[in-house]
């Protein structure tokens, strides 16, 4: 089985490309912890608005900051916000969805109506509400995006679990006296993990876009810490005079989202047993 899975990984072009792009993003974020070509927050007015060159690969901004160093550091900020937001969504959404599928009835209806209520408040609106109470910042962006992810994972988990509760192996476990919690942990979740993994990669990509959007309007990562969204906001003033200020952070967001979407599609091909049988 391991050999078959390895062959599936090698034969999935989307997975390999997605892994390469995502790996590059993660590597760039981790390297920024210990090294950047220049200080991502250091000001050097004498070097402001320089075009891309050997000294400054992506040029410099209006304050003389190295854009390449800012893109590297921004990768970690986007990555950390997205990881926490997806973890919050999975940590709360998966148990709620599993509970709704296991119990059904009133509990199922109540959880789904709560999900509908959460969907009425998108991440940006939730961030505005949280910011009005606690102030802007990366932590509040994590909370806002995480809250938006909860109903997504709850619906996915519930939908994938419902069909399994009528299967013979689940009925056998019930006849053996196992509790709903034990059945969920030992039988339900292992059989839907491929669905959750793929959905997590999709939500990860959406979280990066959401974090960039929140930073763009000033509700996400705060200066002086670089953020791809904040860099785009700063670049719009100089879009004609210094287009590189918008091009490089925009490309970083595009490649990160593309890589994660390809990774999710490739993981679906490898992990979903129905797709493997068709292939």
Return the CATH number at 270: 1.10.3720.10
Residue 39 domain-assigned (yes or no) = no
Domain assignment of residue 64, given as a range: 2-13+23-32+57-278
First vs last Cα of the chain: how many Å apart?
Answer: 15
Q: What is the DSSP string of 209-274?
A: HHHHHHHHTTSSSPTTS--HHHHHHHHGGGTTT-THHHHHHHHHHHHHHHHHHHHHHHHHHHH-HH
**What is the predicted pLDDT for the residue at 124?**
74
Residue 38 domain-assigned (yes or no) = no
pLDDT tens for the chain, 279 residues: list them: 444 454 555 557 888 999 999 999 999 999 998 999 999 999 999 999 999 999 999 999 999 999 999 999 999 999 999 999 999 999 999 999 999 999 989 999 999 999 988 888 877 787 778 877 888 888 888 988 998 899 999 999 999 999 899 899 999 998 998 999 999 999 999 999 989 999 999 999 999 999 999 899 888 888 889 999 999 999 999 999 999 999 999 999 999 999 999 999 888 878 765 555 555
Q: What is the Cα–Cα distance from 53 to 21, expressed in whole angstroms?
A: 24
Residue 181 domain-assigned (yes or no) = yes
Q: 214 — alpha (psi -120 to 50), left (phi > 0) or beta?
A: alpha
Residue 49 domain-assigned (yes or no) = no
**What is the predicted pLDDT for the residue at 276?**
53
**What is the predicted pLDDT for the residue at 219?**
86
The total of structural domains in the chain comes to 1
**What is the predicted pLDDT for the residue at 21?**
95
Residue 110 domain-assigned (yes or no) = yes
Residue 190 domain-assigned (yes or no) = yes
pTM of the predicted structure, to 2 decimals: 0.90
CA angle 95, 101, 106 (to 5 degrees): 100
Residue 104 domain-assigned (yes or no) = yes
Residue 186 domain-assigned (yes or no) = yes
**What is the predicted pLDDT for the residue at 4?**
47
């Amino acid at each position: 089985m391991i050999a078959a899975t390895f062959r599936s990984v090698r034969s999935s072009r989307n997975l390999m490309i997605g892994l390469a792009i995502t790996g590059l993003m993660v590597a760039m974020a981790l390297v920024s912890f210990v090294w950047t070509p220049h200080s991502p927050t250091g000001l050097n007015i004498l070097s402001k608005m320089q075009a891309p060159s050997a000294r400054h690969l992506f040029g410099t901004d209006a304050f003389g900051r190295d854009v390449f160093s800012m893109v590297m550091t921004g990768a970690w900020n986007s990555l950390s916000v997205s990881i926490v937001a997806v973890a919050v969504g999975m940590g709360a959404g998966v148990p709620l969805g599993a509970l709704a599928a296991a119990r059904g009835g009133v509990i199922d209806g109540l959880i789904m109506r709560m999900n509908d209520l959460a969907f009425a408040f998108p991440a940006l609106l939730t961030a505005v509400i949280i910011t009005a109470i606690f102030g802007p910042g990366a932590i509040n962006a994590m909370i806002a995006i995480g809250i938006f992810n909860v109903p997504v994972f709850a619906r996915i988990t519930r939908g994938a679990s419902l069909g399994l509760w009528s299967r013979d192996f689940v009925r056998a476990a019930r006849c053996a006296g196992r509790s709903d919690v034990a059945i969920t942990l030992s039988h339900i979740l292992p059989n839907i993990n491929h669905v959750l993994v793929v959905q997590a990669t999709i939500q990860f990509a959406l979280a990066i876009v959401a974090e960039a959007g929140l930073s763009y309007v000033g509700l996400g990562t705060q200066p002086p810490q670089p953020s791809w969204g904040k860099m785009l906001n700063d670049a719009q003033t100089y879009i004609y005079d210094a287009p590189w200020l918008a091009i490089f952070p925009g490309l970083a967001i595009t490649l990160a989202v593309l890589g994660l979407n390809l990774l999710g599609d490739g993981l679906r091909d490898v992990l979903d047993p129905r797709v493997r049988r068709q292939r």
